[in-house]
Chain A
Amino acid sequence: MGANPFHTPPPAGDTQLRPPINLQSRRMRLNTVRRYVVNHLVTVLAVLSTVIVIVPLIAILAYLVYMGATSLNLAFFTKIPAPVGMPGGGMANGIVGSGIVLGLCSLMGIPVGIAAGVYLAEFGRGKPLAGAIRFTADVLNGVPSIVMGLAIYSLVVMRQHHFSAFAGGVALAIMMVPTITRTTEEMLATVPHSIREAALGLGVPKWRTVLSVSLKTAAPGIITGCMLAFARVAGETAPLLFTAFGNQFWSFKLTEPIAALPLQIFVYAMSPYDEWHRLAWAGSLVLIVMIMVAVTLVRIYAARGMLKGAS
């Protein structure tokens, strides 16, 4: 209504004017009380749900550290699994095997992931193709890891006719690529345009600009992204079940089945032997400590690197 707000229309004939709202009426007071009660109730509920969530999660962590720390010993890091029924033994081959598979997957996944991120941020800005790639990467990120394992089994293992460390590495690499692509793109997007323009203005070719200026400026963030992707695949079990398969003995060949820490935790947890349960707890603690050290180191490094990049 475009009417003048100060203009009050004259009361028309016999229609009664509505009485003004009495703010002190019983109904209004009750309403106010209700609103404040609901407000406090919801606040309490929100705090309560946070407590309900946080407490068990801390309990899980604490229980894990307790069980792991009491089961851990030197043999865990130096020995390979003992035969069933024999005491002792460790997961040295699992730790080394995990290292080999993870190294392999990083070697394949990180360069491709970063390059795809560079395409999205530096070459594909605003192109529909880049939008489609971005969307596909996000969707691929949510595909269950066991499906990756299944696909790599069909491609690599069926051809080679046996399980191999290489197949495990490929499966994990495929999981890494979309995560790294998206973080690389996001990090490159934070690099100011003026820096790129400065480099281009000096006659530096585009590829050189990308490598030595954009990527270098965004390096701390990209390294963080890579480490987070690494931490995520380090604990993956499902894609290794039928690619790396696991191994009770030492194995360093890429063409043979290889042990991996998460796989051994799974097998030992499902076994009926107490000794193996103990090893599973110890393995879980080692795995989590490895992942957390990686994530925390990267956080510290990134915090420092960010400061350097901003100056």
Chain B
Amino acid sequence: MSLDEQPNPSPQPTAPALTSFVAEAAPAGPEGEPSVIRRYLQTRGSGGLADRVFAGLMLLCGLSIFAIVLFILWILIDRSKLSLAQFGFHFFLRSAWDPVSGDFGALPFIFGTLATSLLALAMAVPLAIGVAVFLSELCPAKLRAPISFLTELLAAIPSVVYGLWAVFVLVPIMRDQLGPVLYKYLGWTGFFEGYNFGEGLLTASIILAIMILPIISSITRDIMLAVPISQREAVLALGATRWEMIRTGVLRNARIGIVGAVILGLGRALGETMAVTMVIGNHPVISKSLFAPGYTLASVIANEFTEATGDMYLSALIEIGLALFLVTIVVNAIARALVWAVTRGTPARVH
């Protein structure tokens, strides 16, 4: 469509609206001389060059997303070289964390991260699926919008504010009310032993569960709404009750997407920093008791990075960041692939 590609524009009027230009353009100069139209259009940026520059610029910005990921990866590897060279892969299997003598291992943090995230998932997933079932299948239309709005709002509350609430409300509740009850009735399991400060793995898991609930439930709801109505109608027509319809018609078709939503929530929980740091107790120990303090990958970086002295200390902390980066990238990639597979407009398969 670019005019540049036609050295001699035809003298025929190209469009009625351009007659005034065509009148001037008709006696256009001999070969090579650009016509008035072309000159006019070129001053307005209609050359092929402007288009190509624009497209290139947009492409560059698109590629910047690759650049960001590669840059983060490169800089984290570069800065953690010291610790990578010193400890190698065993860094992740050692439980020593002694900045004074320069002995570092990430096992307590990996344990803390996994324990809090999985516990949070165990609490959040059943509730989130219940909420999603309610919102997509049972909810009266009037309630749907306000509840969805509320969940959106809760997703917008900053992590540090959840942390503040946890420090002043959840921790006392855990210490004075919930903790003693758990100790009395479930103390024999060994999971609720030792002195209960109110801060610890369990408190961190609860605040994490509260934070990831809105995310998991809203994605699950979207996925359930993506299941075609005909699936529901078919199951109902066979005489199924509503729950049987939800189970065989909806949940069965949406299961891959729901797994994706759960993994997405896991990704959030693994990297959550501020709220966890404020209530987990920040002590690198591995303990069976959920009342015991712990430490996560993200919170050790948040807590110790600015005070870290010595290259090895810094390098070890950056290596923890690198591990966190790689793990969340993998977890999110899996989750996204699963969610896409379901919501990508492909109709649910009939089994």
Contact = CB atoms under 8 A, between A and B. Distances in A.
A219 interface: no
A235 B157 contact: yes
A183 to B, nearest CB: 14
A207 B306 contact: no
A146 B159 contact: no
Contact of B328 (A137, A144, A205): A144
Interface in B297-351: 298, 301-302, 305-306, 317-318, 321, 324-325, 328-329, 331-333, 335-336
Quick one: which of B61, B243, B246, B264 has the most chain A CB within 10 A?
B61
Interface majority SS (helix, strand, loop, mixed), chain B: helix
Interface size, B (range): 35 or more
A136 B66 CA distance: 7
A72 interface: no
Given A57-B154, A269-B278, A292-B156, A116 B306 contact: no
B195 interface: no
Interface stretch (B27-35, B129-137, B180-188): B129-137
Q: Interface size class for chain A?
A: 35 or more
Contacts of A135: 333, 336
Contact of A238 (B63, B64, B214, B298): B298
Contacts of A38: 241, 243
A122 interface: yes
Contacts of A194: none
Contacts of A269: 160, 163-164, 167-168, 278
Interface string B71-96: 11001101100000000000000000
B273 A145 contact: yes
Interface stretch (B43-51, B227-235, B284-292): B43-51
A174 B68 contact: yes
Contacts of B58: 115-116, 118-119, 122-123
A206 interface: yes
Contact of A144 (B152, B270, B305): B270
Contacts of B78: 154
A148 interface: yes
B321 A147 contact: yes
B336 A139 contact: yes
A237 B159 contact: yes
Interface stretch (A88-96, A280-288, A302-310): A280-288
A136 B1 contact: no
A208 B45 contact: yes
Given A116-B62, A151-B75, A45 B156 contact: no
Nearest to A138: B336
A92 to B, nearest CB: 19
Nearest to B308: A242
Contact of A237 (B147, B160, B243, B244): B160
Contacts of B130: 45-46, 48-50
A160 interface: no
B150 interface: yes
Contact of A245 (B278, B306, B324, B336): B306
A297 interface: no
A3 B4 CA distance: 69
Contacts of A228: 156
B178 interface: no
Given A144-B324, A232-B156, 18 more contacts: A46-B133, A50-B131, A60-B169, A60-B210, A64-B165, A116-B62, A138-B332, A150-B76, A150-B305, A151-B75, A205-B44, A205-B50, A205-B51, A207-B51, A207-B55, A242-B306, A262-B160, A266-B278
A-B residue pairs, 8 tightest by C-beta: A235-B158, A144-B271, A49-B130, A115-B61, A207-B54, A142-B332, A119-B62, A119-B58
15 contacts: A43-B243, A46-B133, A47-B138, A50-B130, A50-B134, A54-B150, A61-B153, A133-B63, A136-B65, A150-B301, A181-B62, A238-B298, A265-B160, A266-B160, A295-B152
Interface of A: 35-36, 38-39, 42-43, 45-50, 52-54, 56-58, 60-61, 63-64, 67, 111-113, 115-116, 118-120, 122-124, 129-130, 132-133, 135-148, 150-151, 153-155, 158, 174, 177-178, 181, 200, 203, 205-208, 210, 228, 231-232, 234-238, 241-242, 245, 262, 265-266, 269-270, 277, 280-281, 284, 287-288, 291-292, 295
